[in-house]
Each structure stands twice: as structure tokens, then as C-alpha cells.
Amino acid sequence: MSVSEAATSDPLAHQQAPAGLVPESDDSSDADSAIGGVSYASSTTSVKSEAYDMVQEFGRTYHGYKAGKYILPNDEKERDRLDLQHMLWLITVDGALTTAPLEEPRHVLDIATGTGIWAMDFAEQHPNARVIGTDLSPIQPTHVPVNCAFEVHDAEDTWDFSRPFDYIHGRALLSCFTDPRSIIQKAFDSLAPGGYLELQDGIYPFSFLEPVPPPTNVVRRFMDNTLEASHRLGRPWDNTQNYKGWMEEVGFEDVVEKRYQWPVGPWAKGDKLKKMGVYFVEDLKIAVEPICMKMFVKALGWTEERVREFLAELIPGLGARKVYAYFTVVMVYGRKPQNA
């Protein structure tokens, strides 16, 4: 079957691979996870919340405030994963925290801040800015830059901040909201004229280079099931491709979208892509267990035993040799007009 035929019959097949994304030659090493001395460690220390009880489920700890809204846990293992993912985003754009053309932002908001690592890094790089990070979980560290603060807040609730922001940032939000467009509208309304919104997220599901694995492939079954479950749960994972259009609809101008690829595993040529592949497959191997437990049991009616059997097949299949899966991530920003 030709590439064009594959693209017609299978939406995961692409007629042309993204520029620069090619596999290593077949006779190359499988590029184990120690490539290039890649390693990671958590850079934050968790703070114990006295305000909210945490929820225990499937052997993990989850946020107690509005319990159940967000599918991933907030325990130490998850915090380490989020800090690992932060490094992956930094590698993607050569260490930059943003792609928007910022000048001197004074008031900054980071929604769904997680461990707060982005907000703290931004505060350190912009000492004249006041940075607020919000999240459902109060898991941010106790020692933070003096110009950085964290609040427990649900971005789907009313935004009642005391002053407008010059820059609003949101990252990895694809699983968070029932109506992402409404969040973009709230950001627009909460920005000062000339302020920027920037969203950094992934386009789900993954894509594949040729040869595209059959629908029976375990990674493809994972994607099919999570996508179905996300729709049943009312928080669809396939909205990221709409961000740019929604930003333009609500009134942002000069909207720019930049796309990058994260290989699932160290199969791609080039040190940077290989390093990103190592980080991303490690990220996934930690994330898929709570994802499958929460989504497949609650939305699809699987038993826990069935989920664990599936995970025993899935985790070794992530980054499998000659399965060229990759995740397209986007960084899209736009500016609120001066007269708005």
C-alpha cells in the first residue's frame, strides 16, 4: 500500500513526515534511555495542604477540592513526572519558557500550574513581574521567589482577580476542561489591552510515520480508548487543534501557532529529538497507569484487573522498536487588541 493510500484509509498515516522527523537507520542502536546522559530529578519540595483533604483511589492520591474533576493524581510520583515534563517543554524550544514576544510583563497568571515550576522559573527570570499560579491542588513548594504566589482556584469558575494581567500562560490543558473556548474567553477578558495569552499543549491522538501499525497495536488501542473515554467524561482530549481558531474568534489578534514533534521513544535521528523521545516515553510510562485506571474503569466500565492486564501490555509497547509514534505539540499565542 502506498503512502497516499495509507493516509486515505487511516487517519493516523501522514503523506509527508514533519520536517526533520525521521527514524534512525535500522542498523543503529535502539538508543537506550541513558542516551546522552539524560537524567532527571524533581526540583520542587511539596507543601502539605492543611486546607483540603486528599482523595485516595487506585493506590494514588488525588486533589480533594472539587474531587474527580482532574483525572491525574497529585502525589510525589506525579509531581516528579510534571517536573520531568517541564524539562521536555524547555528542550523543545531550547530553554525558553514562552514563545510570545513579551516585553516587560508586570502581572502574570499561570493556570493549572501543577507543581508551580513554570511560574517559579518565570518569576526568577522576570523579577519585576508578579506571578500567580492557580491549580486545584495545593502541591506547590513552600520556598518560592518573593514575586511568585499560588492559589487554589478552578479555572472553570468565575475569574475575579483584582487586576488585569499582561500575560496568561497555560500548558498541558487538553484533559482539563469541558469547554476550552470558554477558558480562552475568560483569559481575553482578564488581560490588559496589549496583553498576551499563550497555550502550550498537545494534539491528540499521536501520529505515526510509515509503517503505521494496525489498529490492534496496543498504543493505538490506548489512544482509541482514552479518546472515547474523554468524550464520555465530558472533557474531550481532541480540542487542541481548535485553539488558534478559538483565539481568533474571541478577539485575539496576531495569533501565531508553532508546532513541534515529540517522538515516543528514542527512535528519531538527531540528539535533540532523541533526547525528547527519552523524556517523553518516560513521562508516558508514568502517566498511563492513572490515566487508564481513572478513565477506563469510570467511563468504559472496565474492571481494575482488565486495566492492569492492558497496562502490562501497554507499558512495554511504548517506544517499541520500529513503531514510529510521535506527539505533535503546539505553542499558540495571541494579543488582546489595544482598543479592547
**Could you tell me the domains of the chain?**
49-336 (3.40.50.150)
Q: Enumerate residues 6+ apart whose C-beta is below 8 A from 133.
A: 109, 110, 113, 116, 118, 119, 140, 148, 149, 150, 151
Give pTM, 2 decimals: 0.88
Output the tens digit of pLDDT for each of the chain's 340 residues.
433 333 345 656 544 678 788 887 654 444 443 333 333 333 333 334 445 678 888 888 888 888 888 889 999 999 999 999 999 999 999 999 999 999 999 999 999 999 999 999 999 999 999 999 999 999 899 899 999 999 999 999 999 999 999 999 999 999 999 999 999 999 999 999 999 999 999 999 999 999 999 999 999 999 999 999 999 999 999 999 999 999 999 999 999 999 999 999 999 999 999 999 999 999 999 999 999 999 999 999 999 999 999 999 999 999 998 999 999 999 999 999 999 8
CA distances from 329 to 81, 200, 219, 253 (A): 18, 7, 18, 21
> With contact defined as beta carbons under 8 Å apart, do 231 and 244 qualify?
no
